[in-house]
Amino acid sequence: MKRLFALALAAAIVGCMTAGCSTGAQLKVGEASFVETENGADGIKSNGSDVRDFRYGSFNDCTVSFAPGNCDAVSKFEVCGYTFLNASTFAIEVERNGEVCELKKAYEKGWLSEKDIAQIYEIHKKNEIEHFNAEELYKEFE
């Protein structure tokens, strides 16, 4: 009986760890895309945690992605005069040649131009308003 329970528990753990796993397609410059998920809802992983997996696209040999936090509190930061908002904590991560940093640091390092930041901002804002009803949030903070 203990052995059967242990096997069932192990199977459940493996199932939870692999639920919602997906691979992102290669993106063109400035092309935003949600990762297709098992539950059919764009950007929501099916692992029960409602974590979004959103990629803004590729800019100057950098891959830019949304990195969700785990605290439900309005979060914002500014880069080049653009205020990035979200209804929970978050970061926008930039990967270049295996190195990862946050959006502001990538701009400061010269990885991204002001034009790139403007494009990423427009993609971010459009995504937040269309998929997460953040229009009021943007009206309040802009």
Per-residue model confidence as pLDDT tens digits over 94-140: 999 999 999 999 999 999 999 999 999 999 998 888 877 788 888 88
pTM: 0.64
Does the pLDDT value for residue 11 go beyond 70? no
Q: Three-state SS across 37-88?
A: CCCCCCCECCCCCCCECEEEEEECCEEEEEEECCCCCCEEEEECCEEEEECC
